[in-house]
Structures are given as C-alpha cells and as structure tokens.
Structure 1
Amino acid sequence: MNAPLFPLFADLNGRAVLVVGGGAVAARKVEALLHAGARPRVGAPELAPSLRALADAGRIEWLPGRFTPDWLAEDIWLVVAATDDVAVNQATASASGERRLFVNVVDDAQLSRFHLPAVVERGPLQIAISSGGGAPMVARHVRRRIEELFDDSWGRLTELLGRKRAHIRARFPDTAARRRFFDRLLEGPLPGLLRRGQRAAAEDALRHALAGEAPAAAGSVMLVGAGSGDPGLLTLGALRALNQADVILHDRLVSAEVLQLARRDAERIEVGKSARGHSTRQEHIHALMLEHARAGRRVVRLKGGDAFVFGRGGEELQFLRAHGIPYEVVPGITAALACAAHAGIPLTHRDHAQQLRLVTAHCRDSLDTLDWPALAAPRQTLVFYMGVAALAHIRTQLLDAGLPAATPFALVENGSRAEQRVVTGQLRQLAEAAERHRVQSPALLVVGDVAALADELHWFGDAPLHAAAPSLSAPTTTPTLADAA
C-alpha cells in the first residue's frame, strides 16, 4: 500500500509555474494558478483560444514548441504536465524529477509528485479533498457534499477571526485555553450572526467573548421552505438547516423524503393543519418555537412550499421578534412554481399571459373577499392554493365575473412527487372533473390559457387526464375534496 500524501497548501503568489500543454485541460490548470496569484508559463506548439487571449493580455508567458528541459528554468517552482501525449508527459516528469521540482501529470498518479485536490473555497477558508490520485471522482463527490454543508458565512467567519488572531492569542496565550475559547465561540451566536449578514453584531459578539462575557444559550429559529415534496428541489440553504437542526417543527405536507435528509438525531414534531381531522393551533406552534429556542436549541420551522406564500411565515417572525428570538429565513420553491413546472405549464407566456396571480382558497371567508372581476381579466394566469374543497364556488365566481366558460384549467395533484396527477379541461367542467377523477389534496388549481399547454408540454409522470374521460387509475376510495393548509 502506498504511503498517504502529505497535505500542503502552497503559496504561489508571484511565483513562476510551468504548464506543459495548450489545450482545455491546461487552460483549467492555468485558471486555478492565476487565481492563486502564480505566474503561469505555458509551453505548447499551439494554445487554446482562452490561453491565447491570456497570453495576448500578458497574463501568461507562452513558450511555443514541444517540451525541452530548458523550459525548467531556475525560477520555476512547480510543474504541471497537461498534454494528451504520454511521451511528452513522461519526459516532463523525468526532467522535473532530476531538478527536484514537484510535478503533477494530469490523470497519471504514478508520474505525479504532487496532486491537485478538489477544493471547497469560502473566502480565506479552503477545504481540500484528495483520493491520492486513485479515485478523483470520489473526491469530487465529497466536495459536492461539503459544498452543501458550508455556506459563504464560513468565509466571513474565517476572515473575522483572522483579523482578530493577535487579540485572541494575547487573550489566551495557552493553547488549550485558546482551543476551549474557540469551541465556545463557534457553538455560540457568532456564526449565526454572520450567516444573517449582521457583521457589526458579530464583531460585538466576538468582543464580548474576548472580554469573558458568556453569551446566553444560542437558541434560534430558522424558517425553512421545504418546497413541493421532491427533495431534489430543496435549496442548499434548506439542506444545511436540516443538518444543523436540533428540533424540526414540520407541516403535515412536508414529504417523508425531505425529512429523511435531516440530521438523524433531530427531534421531529408534526405541527400540520388540516381542514379535516387533527390540526395544530398556531398558538401552540408559537409556544413550541419559543420553548425550544429558549432552551438553547436550533429550531427549524419546516413548511411546505415557501413560508412567505400563504404559509403564515410573517406571523411567526413577528412572534419571534416580539420575544427576542433570533431567526433566519430560507426560502423554498413555492407550489405554484414547482407544480406548474412539473405539469409542463409556463405560468407566464408571451402569447398568453403577462400577469400571474397567486390566490389562497383555504376557506369561504377568504374567497368572499377577493376581487373577482380583477381575477377574471384576460391574459393572466390564476393559481389557487388550497382550493380543492371550493372548486364549485371558484368556478361560479369566475363565470359570474365574466371569465369565459371555455377558459382552460389544470388541477395538479401531488405536484413534483412520484404520484403526481394532472387533470385538464375547461372552466365549465372544473368541479365535475375533480369529482370524476377523485382529486384530493394537496392539489393546485391553474386557470388561464397557459393551462392548456399541459397537454402539449407535459414531461413528468403520466400524461394529463381530461375532464371528459374517467380515470382508469383513480383510487377506489370514497371521493373527497377536502383540502389542507
């Protein structure tokens, strides 16, 4: 078994590095070297257009021709062989070794004396991953996983602590004491302040920590949008939050697949609402957030879709601010975007719709307050959330307001999930089509000319069902049009 590589970060700022090769691979290596402040010297018979542009701009030096040992001048610090000619690569490696120069031969671990790792970079913080040259795809996969866990605030944290390094060392000259200080600091409020972009507050927190003032328990709440159920639609911010959570307060419609991505030992509490059956009162959700945050826990309030689109996120933030609880918001892909996209429905279209209206149809009272004549205006798309139980009322109001009975509609049930179904038809058929196909929540209603494009542009799941034809795959249970919040 080969000995492990010795990890090393090289300071190449202002130093000459020889790159042998003038193609696309060499161009990628040159780009990385320029980023590190090196002075690349590129030797090759011809240069790729990007490299020629760099040479013309004076950012690299071109050595035209095939490799000769003369290229290994005394000012060269490192060598990279990036050609597709095995003989040239071998000659470069051999000549470099004779001069005790470290050489990397792209895709040839045996000839290489140093390896270029996969790198995650967050400002001054760099995380390098290497497989020893044996399995670079594994290193790239690990890099993607680490990218998910470390956001840009880690760079700001590294920069801040780097600026205060002398103060920290003077305050804690003992290494063990300094290590304990950093452990307390990084578990405290400082990282969260930087994540929220509150740099002045972060500076104050560090100053208090250096003065020996212990911060209160670092409890907080992150309001996270879980999207429409497909875990592939989660943002990186949402994934990071789920991996950091101590407690997750999640809606009923957050999918099991999304919850499986959360930290394994996080406490999960369902706090969903439903028009039928058990519901959690909003006041109880507030109390749970307050209880766990005051106990110093990192709470994730996980909502289907986006918390600020009919998700009562604003009310929850007002409650948290009133009680002095730090909070963050991670937006999610709201159901209108996710469900329409998976049904092949563009919500706006140059030929059909220049406006988009998102409407909540959760209860009869909210429907009666809507401006129905404005909703019946032409050349727009209407998206009704939580409206399955009120389809007959929605149809009546739109028809009475003047929307043509032939206006296309699409009902998207379980949008973006494996069990997605789409029902299309004309507005006059809406309620009967939902009954015939036994549409159940969660389902989204799209009304407008763009809804007809579902038949033409569908790409996910089965083809749309039509209002006039019964569904062969409809469930055999008693139909229900109940919807949930």
Structure 2
Amino acid sequence: MRYFPLFMDLTERAVLVVGGGEVASRKTEALVRAGARVTLLSPEISESLQVLWRDDALQWIEQRYDSAFLTRNYVQVWATTDHAPLNHQIYADAKLLGLQVNVVDDQPYCDFITPAMIDRGQIQVAISSGGASPVLVRNIRESIEAVLAQNLRVLAQFCGEKRDHLKVERPDVSARRRFWESFLADPCVKETHDPAVLEQIYQRYIAAPMLRGREVIWVVCDTDVELLPMKAVRFMQQSELVFYHRNIPAEGLDLCRRDAERAVFDSRAQLQGLLTKAREESLNLCILVTVADFQVVADLKMKGERQFGSGLYQSE
C-alpha cells in the first residue's frame, strides 16, 4: 500500500489553486464544498469559477504565477495549469516551504492523490488505484453506487444525532455496538427516508430488553481468501474479538471487523490460553487459523461453535 488513506478536514483551511481552466474548476468546486478557503492564482478563470468568485466562495488573484504568492499559510497547493514545466516549478517552490502539493494528472509530482468519491452526505466512500488505473476505479465506483442505499444521507444524520442519547441509554461500548447492529439491520431502517420513522424504530429498540447472544466461529483461512463463503465473512464482520495465527494473510485479517480486539498466537498452547479467558466473556469471537495448523488446534473447538474455510464450508 503506497498511499495511506485518510479524510482531511479542510474547513476554513487555506488552499492555493494555480490555474483557472477546466481542471482547476473540478478541483476548486470540490474544495469549496469541503469548506476550504480557496485562493485562485491565474490571469483568467473559467465561467464556473467566476460564479464561485462572485458568490464570495473563493478569492481570485488575477495574476500569473510567481513564487512570491506561496506562503506557509497554505495547507495544500494544487498545480492545475496546462503547462507541465510551470507545474513542476510550482511543485519545487512549494516543497522548499514544506507544503503539500498535487500536480494534477502528474503522479510523480504529487504528495497526495484524490480518490474517486461516492458522496452520501456524512457517508463518503473513497476508491483509489494509486494512480494506476482511473478507468478501473470508475468502474468500481459505478458498481458500489449501484448497491449503496439511497437513504444513507438521512440515516447517517440520524445516527449522529442519537450518539449522545445512546451513550446514556447504553453506557457499555459493546452494548451500543450491538444496538446499532440490530437497529441498522432492521428492514424498515434500510428503506425509509423519513426521520420520523427512524425515530419510532429507534425508540422501539431502546425499549426492548438487551438480549445478549454469543457466537464463536472458526475460520480456516488459506492464501486465497476469496474462497471463503459469504456467511463466514458476515460472521467475521460481526466479531468483537479476533484470535489469529501469525501466518494468516493480511487479506484474511482485513475481512474481520476493524474495531474488534485482536490477539495473535503461534502455538496451540497460546491459543488454548486465549480461549480459556475469552470463553468467560460474552463477546462474539472469531478464530482464524491456517490450513496447516487447523488439525493441530481442531480439538479446542467446542460443540456449537461454527467452522468455515477451505474444504470446510459446512457449518457445524
């Protein structure tokens, strides 16, 4: 992974865009929507940029580029002109000041790159190929757009408004997590665009007793993680605790819930010790083992605990 993915808060942060054409328009419009204080440096700008300028959404310096306009006040510099040598000069000048630079469509001169975005209000999905294949990224974006619920904007706002209330009703972190999982799995929640309906469902779940189930699954994870059944992946995503063999491929571990507690083991004795403690707790547990090591630890599996994986697709 060459690029570390992150979402940067640009609200009221100063950003310089050098250029005023179509490329500058696309980038500037996105920056303005993100709340950045954009300064455009260009003798001419497009009509769409002029509209933003007349609406006081950005500042326009109507001059050609000069390094004197660069200051350390800017958190980002975008070089969007159609003249490569000038863009490269902007990059060099900005680096002297320690500024982060993006020379659009010129990856060697980018400290950061912008992914393809899917925007559902507070829900944002970013997709990147590290600059390798923009067309592939576009195809992936179209596929994801087709399956994402259209009510995510309303749902995200509702959940955000209820966070403090739920902390009072469910002081335990695990209890809150289980509440949201049940609430978001409700078919009506997945479909409605009406906050009033969401409120009714929320109050119903708040009033319901907190039932606590516990699931333990064993996943035999080979190098080709795509062979894992979807049911196994679903359970992996629900696990609150993950024990994994040190030889488990990173792709397999990535399928587990990101905020789950994790512990690594490299011997049967270590896993046995972890299981002894874990079985005293009421947490959904996932044990990831390699094909080679499963037979060594299989006897630690208790009745009622499911298992999935290579050659073991039946659940028990």
Report the TM range for the smaller structure's normalisation: 0.5 to 0.7
Cα drift, residue 160 of structure 1: 0.5
Asked if 1 retains the 8 angstrom alpha-carbon contact of 2:18 and 2:80, the reply is yes
Asked if 2 retains the 8 angstrom alpha-carbon contact of 1:189 and 1:205, the reply is no
Asked if 2 retains the 8 angstrom alpha-carbon contact of 1:93 and 1:111, the reply is yes
Q: Out of 186, 197, 200, which is 1:201 matched to?
A: 197
Q: Which amino acid aligns with 1:16?
A: A
Asked if 1 retains the 8 angstrom alpha-carbon contact of 2:77 and 2:99, the reply is yes
Cα drift, residue 107 of structure 1: 0.8
Q: Out of 173, 176, 183, which is 1:175 matched to?
A: 173
What is the distance in 2 between the residues matched to 1:128 and 1:41? 25
Who is 1:42 aligned against?
40
Distance change >3 Å, CA 60–CA 201, structure 1 → 2: closer
Q: CA RMSD in A?
A: 2.1
Cα drift, residue 4 of structure 1: 2.6
Give CA-to-partner distance per residue, 1:435-456, whole Å, 9 cap, x none. Answer: xxxxxxxxxxxxxxxxxxxxxx
What is the distance in 2 between the residues matched to 1:22 and 1:172? 52
Distance change >3 Å, CA 154–CA 42, structure 1 → 2: same
Distance change >3 Å, CA 48–CA 201, structure 1 → 2: closer
Cα drift, residue 88 of structure 1: 1.4
What is the distance in 1 between the residues matched to 2:203 and 2:192? 18
Give CA-to-partner distance per residue, 1:423-478, whole Å, 9 cap, x none. Answer: xxxxxxxxxxxxxxxxxxxxxxxxxxxxxxxxxxxxxxxxxxxxxxxxxxxxxxxx
Give CA-to-partner distance per residue, 1:82-123, whole Å, 9 cap, x none. Answer: 111111111122222222222111111211111111111112
Distance change >3 Å, CA 174–CA 22, structure 1 → 2: same
Who is 2:208 aligned against?
212
Q: Which amino acid aligns with 2:200?
A: D
The farther-off stretch of 164-173 and 117-126 is 164-173
What is the distance in 2 between the residues matched to 1:196 and 1:185? 13
Cα drift, residue 145 of structure 1: 1.2
Trace 1:79-98 onto structure 2 (pairs within 5 A).
79-98=77-96
Is the helix fraction higher in 1 or 2?
2
1:179 alignment partner, SS class: helix
Asked if 2 retains the 8 angstrom alpha-carbon contact of 1:120 and 1:126, the reply is yes
Give the length in aligned residue pairs.
211
Q: Out of 36, 46, 49, which is 1:51 matched to?
A: 49
TM-score (norm 1): 0.41
What is the distance in 2 between the residues matched to 1:97 and 1:17? 15
Who is 1:234 aligned against?
none
Asked if 2 retains the 8 angstrom alpha-carbon contact of 1:109 and 1:134, the reply is no
1:61 equivalenced with 2:62 (yes/no)? no
Cα drift, residue 190 of structure 1: 4.6
Give CA-to-partner distance per residue, 1:277-309, whole Å, 9 cap, x none. Answer: xxxxxxxxxxxxxxxxxxxxxxxxxxxxxxxxx
Give CA-to-partner distance per residue, 1:338-396, whole Å, 9 cap, x none. Answer: xxxxxxxxxxxxxxxxxxxxxxxxxxxxxxxxxxxxxxxxxxxxxxxxxxxxxxxxxxx
2:106 alignment partner, SS class: coil
Who is 1:13 aligned against?
11
Cα drift, residue 208 of structure 1: 2.2
TM-score (norm 2): 0.62
Asked if 1 retains the 8 angstrom alpha-carbon contact of 2:101 and 2:111, the reply is yes
- Share of identical aligned residues, percent? 38
Asked if 1 retains the 8 angstrom alpha-carbon contact of 2:72 and 2:97, the reply is no
Q: Which amino acid aligns with 1:144?
A: E
Give CA-to-partner distance per residue, 1:171-218, whole Å, 9 cap, x none. Answer: 3343333322222222124523xx233432210211222233579xxx
Unaligned runs of 5+ in 1: 216-485
What is the distance in 1 between the residues matched to 2:48 and 2:149? 30
Asked if 2 retains the 8 angstrom alpha-carbon contact of 1:69 and 1:95, the reply is yes
Trace 1:367-446 onto structure 2 (pairs within 5 A).
none
What is the distance in 2 between the residues matched to 1:136 and 1:169? 42
Q: Out of 146, 149, 166, which is 1:148 matched to?
A: 146
2:50 alignment partner, SS class: helix
What is the distance in 1 between the residues matched to 2:57 and 2:155? 32
Larger radius of gyration: 1
What is the distance in 2 between the residues matched to 1:16 and 1:165? 31
Q: Which amino acid aligns with 2:40?
A: V
What is the distance in 2 between the residues matched to 1:198 and 1:22? 41
Distance change >3 Å, CA 155–CA 95, structure 1 → 2: same
What is the distance in 2 between the residues matched to 1:49 and 1:62? 13
Who is 1:101 aligned against?
99
Who is 1:117 aligned against?
115
